[in-house]
Amino acid sequence: MNSAWIGAAQKATFLPMCGRTALFGLGFVLVASLPARTEAGPNTIRCDDLSTAELSVDGLLDDWGKQVLARVGAAPDGSLELRCSWDGVALALALDVKDDRVVRVGKGHQDRVDISISAGGKPTLASVLPGNAIAKSKVTRPARSAVADSLQPKGFSVEARFPGAVLAGLSQSTPSLELKIVFHDVDQATGGDTTELELAATIELGDRKDLLDDFLRTVKLKRADVRLDTLAELDPDRRGKERIVAGGTVIGVLTDRFAFVTLPIAKAADIKRLELVPLGARGQQIVSAVVRQAGNNGSRDLLLLWTVWSGQLQPLAQLEVRKQLGTNVLEATWKLVKGKKSRELWLEPRPAIGFTADTWNEVPASDADPIPLPWDTAKGGVAYSMPGVAAELSRRDLPPPNRR
């Protein structure tokens, strides 16, 4: 049995973003719900792409169109309508609050709007106590953002602009944002019950959706074909998380553009395992896939490893982890182990089925690290580590079992 019968070359492709250029993306994080009355609305919305730099954040809604993207409640007792815009640099919100009485009395129960935006890190928070004839407005907001309110004949309105720099966890890769707005509506000026109207939505960033669509179109995949779509710290050359999307025989990384590798297999079913592994320095994740190749009446499984550098997938290693010829099977296990300087991936042989040292006449693989042999008296496997940020693996032999 000769390893040369199967090739394992991987085709890597790097393409720029087709469509609008974006400076930022937004991470998907679930935000815990406050006890509030929530009404049915869109689970996912897409904001307008108007330039937020041209907005005058004064609390008035004259800069905005008439299209409402989400609403909760019912006028005149209490309702909240949302408009928003994302231009790749900042997120702008416009809130039209219908209320039959805007209550601001002392330090007791008062009308208030709370805004929470999650971009993968700690949520960005803002709060508005609207101004009326009794009290001036009181706004709490992050530095470098802008928030203002305006009293209206049937309630009040709020405008806000949050630059990408104030949204913790924001990166060029992350595709969406979790928004939660709660209107605390006080029914009476003194000690009355407070009704909480909550509007929660996922804001799908249009530029990120367009990039994903371009990627899927290029690699000829449908959304239903995607088996992995996640965000992780993968690229030490970039700030924030990267988006990994895998489906069919392709693995892609999406930042402000996309790059992908085509796996050395015939069909999607040949992918036996696909996951991210924290093998890199300081917990950096690497991409791993176990694929099966068939030929010459046998098969082999390869453990393929990649890191991401400057938005591109860089191959780290191809490791043989299983060989089969007829009913004879040779297999290796792998696990992450805490080493002295960094994590290590230990590849160790399992007892052979059918094969023996006398009948094994395999020529070691030239395109991959050959599978460790259970009868090798010199070593008990191989330990792989990635102590630096460069796309290289270090290797060391593990001692044979009887020496441990």
Q: How much is the pTM?
A: 0.72
Q: Look-up: residue for tokens 């802008």?
A: 146
d(CA 186, CA 303): 60
From the list 100, 74, 82, the residue with the least C-alpha distance to 186 is 100
User: If residue 211 lies in a helix (H) or strand (E), which one and from where to where?
Assistant: helix 206-218
CA 160 to chain centre: 26
Q: What is the DSSP letter of 403?
A: G
CA atoms within 13 A on the CB side of 217: 10
Residue ranges of the alpha helices (H) in 73-129? none
- Enter the DSSP assignment of 212: H
Among 75, 111, 70, 112, CA closest to 93: 70
Q: Could you tell me which residues are beta bridge partners of residue 274?
A: 289
> Which domains does the chain show, CATH number per domain?
3-17+208-403 (no CATH), 37-204 (2.60.40.1190)
Amino acid present at 232: A
- What is the three-state SS of 340-357? CCCEEEEEEECCCECCCC
Q: What local confidence, expressed as pLDDT, does residue 11 receive?
A: 52
Strands 176-186, 112-118: pairing kind: antiparallel
Contact 103, 91 (CB under 8 A): no
- List, in sequence order, the alpha helices (H) in 219-323: none
pLDDT along the chain (404 residues), means of 10: 40 43 27 36 79 92 91 83 93 93 78 93 94 91 96 94 92 87 77 80 85 94 94 85 94 93 96 94 88 92 94 94 96 91 92 95 90 95 84 89 60
What does the pLDDT read at residue 106? Answer: 65
Whole-angstrom distance, CA of residue 82 vs CA of residue 75:
14
AA letter at 244: I
Cβ 8 vs Cβ 320: under 8 Å: no
389: which 2 tokens?
Answer: 């940020």
Phi, psi angle pair for 111, to nearest 5°: -65, 140
pLDDT of residue 7: 38
Cβ count near 205 (within 10 Å):
22
Asked if omega into 76 is within 30° of 0 (cis), the reply is: yes
Instruction: Look at strands 78-86 and 70-74 and give their pairing.
Output: antiparallel
Instruction: Give the C-alpha separation, 224 to 247, whole Å.
Output: 9
Consecutive H or E run containing 217: helix 206-218
